[in-house]
């Protein structure tokens, strides 16, 4: 019963009226409305939307909850670096990248759309997110892998987001004098090698120096991101009095 001249409006869930850009009467039983998707208030937060059509006679009809916005998945994991893997923590690595469907239209399927993961890690799409796990291969220099993950909802709407993971090469630091060791973030244990020089000799009675020595302490516990005070003693000094100092 649409008349040759009709007026149409959309109404948000909160009662705000949206006027279409164009309204076309196709027939007495069909009207086509066109609304730009960037129109104010035309968002999934304001769904569902009613459609109201009024004939030139003043008679009108409203179709309640006529449609909802077909929104894309929204990532909850920020773009960019999702992990920095230190050499000692390459084994048993796992991180999850997640997105949500604003319309609760079903589970989201994740795919590795482009780029590559660090060698040794695998990708799996799960109900809780895209899970990247495994044992990263060792690297000789710090290596960053860049990749893009796609999230697709039940209505085939997709969102892409770029991420990266950096695998760090083994690190070492030597001390020949007292100082401070800064523990890298994520490191909870280090291997410690202490080398002691031999005692000094004497010249007056041709006394020999003492023997040197070393201690190796693997798995020394440290606090990630903390500091360790390193004290290096002074070696023995030679003497011409017959007694080393």
Across the chain, what does the average pLDDT equal? 88
Sign of CA dihedral 43, 45, 46, 48: positive
Does 106 or 190 have the greater pLDDT score?
A: 190
Is 244's pLDDT higher than 60? Answer: no
What is the pLDDT averaged over residues 108-122? 97
Which residues neighbour 210 within 8 Å (Cβ) at sequence distance 6 or greater? 198, 199, 236
Tell me the Ramachandran region of residue 195: left when phi exceeds 0, alpha when psi lies from -120 to 50, beta otherwise: beta
Note the pLDDT tens digit of each residue in 128-152: 999 999 999 999 999 999 999 999 9
Query: Using CA atoms, how far apart are residues 200 and 158, in angstroms rounded to an integer?
Result: 73
Q: What integer is the mean pLDDT of 118-129? A: 96
Looking at residue 238, what DSSP letter applies? P
Answer whether the bond into residue 48 is a cis peptide, omega within 30°: yes
pLDDT tens digits, residue range 174-183?
998 999 999 8
């Amino acid at each position: 019963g649409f008349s040759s001249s009709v007026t149409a409006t959309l109404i948000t869930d909160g009662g705000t009226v949206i006027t279409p850009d164009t309204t076309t009467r196709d027939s007495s039983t069909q009207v086509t409305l066109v609304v730009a998707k960037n129109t104010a208030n035309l968002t999934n937060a304001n769904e569902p939307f009613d459609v109201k059509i009024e004939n030139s006679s003043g008679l009108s009809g409203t179709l309640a909850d006529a449609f909802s916005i077909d929104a894309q998945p929204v990532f909850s994991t920020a773009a960019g670096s999702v992990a920095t893997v230190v050499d000692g923590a390459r084994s048993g690595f796992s991180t999850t990248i997640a997105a949500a469907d604003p319309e609760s239209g079903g589970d989201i399927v994740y795919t590795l759309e482009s780029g590559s993961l660090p060698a040794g890690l695998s990708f799996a799409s799960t109900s809780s997110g895209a899970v990247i796990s495994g044992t990263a291969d060792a690297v000789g220099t710090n290596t960053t892998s860049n990749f893009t993950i796609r999230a697709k909802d039940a209505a085939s709407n997709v969102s892409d987001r770029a991420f990266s993971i950096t695998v760090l090469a083994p690190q070492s630091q030597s001390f020949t004098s007292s100082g401070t060791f800064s523990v890298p973030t994520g490191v909870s244990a280090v291997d410690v090698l202490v080398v002691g020089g031999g005692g000094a000799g004497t010249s007056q009675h041709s006394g020999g120096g003492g023997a040197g020595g070393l201690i190796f302490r693997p798995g020394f516990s440290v606090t990630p991101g903390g500091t360790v005070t390193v004290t290096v003693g002074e070696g023995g000094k030679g003497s011409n009095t017959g007694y080393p100092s």
